[in-house]
């Protein structure tokens, strides 16, 4: 099947790494793994984060113009090169899809959305137009794949039929992380030498962008929680950078001697970092589900996290990690203390984490599920 792929919030070709870009690329990879031809239909970014109504209208007009251009190009393509299905990733009021619904309707192909959210409270707000565009897109969607069950509550009533909503577990390719885990000691020795780390004490790790809002709030809670553990030996590795770097450093002032600031790390460099550490820690304030949790577990790391959003769907409390109430620094500190002082617990949970990712969140499982879903729609079923 020929699939036209589009991510209105952030194209998979965007130069700045993020969880959103990572998931877009994984979806394309999984669809290709299932044998489909996947083409990036547009790099147009429809996201508008400031609530500027004039700029939103400009983006809408640009998107509508691009939809028309795309349809005109399709008429010049051979039939075998035209898309059989349109696939949009991450749809919400700040990043509506101005291209896909029209192309699917006029070209007569199914319209599929992966990861959509709908917030009724946005009606009449600064993203009013995008809010209604999302509602319209979901109403005509032939299939909506939900990566978080929490989003389903408000999305399902908008669909033409409830069975058009399917749950897709967040996933990744575990192979690079498993390979790194098999060379754990070599990676650990290399990091110890480079960053002057004691390999005989536990290493905690977190990987997150440094920006205002929920990320900064998570860093602030992390710093406050770990400061309560200064009686224990540990080091913290932090991979990430961004405009809020100074605030993040200030938030970790109480543990500054224990922290190694690794800066922004390329995706290829992440598996060795995870593999060298002993546990992944992140408070996850207002987190959707967090790809880093899956990456850490794929490398055999247990997780300590706040039980926000869809995090409990990717971290099994008591099995592959420890979850605490969102925003509770005391509970988070207690869970990290337990992890630091119980090496047998870390080892058991790390093994369970790696096994769980392969069985429930691996690329092959996602490819099979996606293949079954899109093949079920067939070509030309769009309304």
What domains can you pick out in the chain, each with its CATH number?
2-171+362-377 (3.40.50.2000), 175-360 (3.40.50.2000)
pLDDT at residue 95 is higher than 80: yes
pLDDT at residue 19 is higher than 60: yes
What is the average pLDDT across 295-319?
95
Coil vs helix vs strand at 78: coil
Whole-angstrom distance, CA of residue 214 vs CA of residue 211: 8
pLDDT digits (tens, 9 = 90+) for 141-182: 999 999 877 778 899 999 999 999 999 999 999 999 999 999
What rounded mean pLDDT belongs to the chain? 94
Contact 290, 311 (CB under 8 A): yes
Report pTM: 0.83
Q: What is the pLDDT of residue 383?
A: 39
Q: What is the pLDDT of residue 296?
A: 98
Contact 274, 310 (CB under 8 A): no
Per residue, what are the HEC states of 231-281? Answer: CCCCEEEEECCCCCHHHHHHHCHHHHHHEEEEECCCHHHHHHHHHHCCEEE
What is the average pLDDT across 281-292?
90
For residue 6, the cross-strand partners are 88
Q: How many CB atoms lie within 10 A of CB 180?
A: 22
What is the average pLDDT across 372-382?
73
């Amino acid at each position: 099947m020929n699939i036209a792929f589009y991510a209105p919030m952030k194209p998979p070709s965007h130069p700045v790494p993020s969880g959103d870009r990572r998931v877009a690329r994984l979806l394309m990879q999984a669809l290709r793994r299932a044998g489909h031809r996947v083409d990036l239909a547009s790099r147009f970014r429809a996201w508008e984060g400031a609530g500027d109504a004039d700029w939103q209208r400009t983006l809408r007009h640009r998107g509508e113009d691009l939809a028309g251009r795309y349809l005109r190009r399709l008429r010049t393509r051979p039939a075998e090169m035209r898309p059989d299905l349109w696939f949009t990733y991450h749809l919400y009021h700040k990043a509506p899809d101005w291209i896909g619904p029209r192309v699917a309707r006029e070209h007569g192909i199914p319209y599929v959305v992966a990861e959509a959210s709908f917030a009724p409270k946005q009606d009449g707000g600064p993203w009013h137009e995008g809010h209604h565009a999302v509602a319209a897109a979901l109403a005509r969607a032939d299939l909506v794949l939900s990566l978080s069950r929490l989003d389903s509550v408000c999305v399902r009533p908008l669909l033409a039929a409830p069975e058009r909503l399917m749950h897709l577990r967040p996933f990744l390719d575990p192979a690079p992380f498993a390979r790194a885990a098999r060379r754990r000691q070599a990676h650990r020795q290399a990091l110890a030498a480079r960053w002057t780390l004691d390999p005989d004490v536990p290493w905690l790790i977190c990987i997150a962008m440094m920006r205002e809002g929920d990320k900064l709030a998570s860093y602030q809670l992390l710093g406050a929680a770990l400061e309560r553990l200064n009686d224990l030996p540990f080091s913290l590795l932090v991979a990430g950078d961004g405009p809020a770097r100074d605030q993040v450093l200030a938030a970790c002032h109480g543990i500054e001697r224990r922290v190694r600031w690794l800066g922004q790390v390329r995706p290829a460099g992440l598996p060795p970092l995870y593999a060298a550490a002993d546990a992944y820690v992140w408070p996850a304030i207002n987190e959707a589900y967090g790809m880093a949790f899956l990456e850490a577990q794929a490398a055999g790391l247990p997780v300590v996290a706040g039980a926000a959003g869809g995090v409990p769907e990717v971290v099994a409390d008591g099995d592959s990690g420890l979850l605490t109430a969102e925003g509770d620094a005391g509970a988070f500190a207690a869970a990290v203390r337990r992890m630091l002082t119980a090496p047998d617990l870390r080892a058991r949970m790390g093994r369970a984490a790696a096994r769980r990712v392969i069985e429930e969140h691996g690329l092959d499982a996602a490819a099979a599920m996606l293949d079954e879903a899109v093949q079920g729609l067939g070509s030309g079923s769009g309304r």
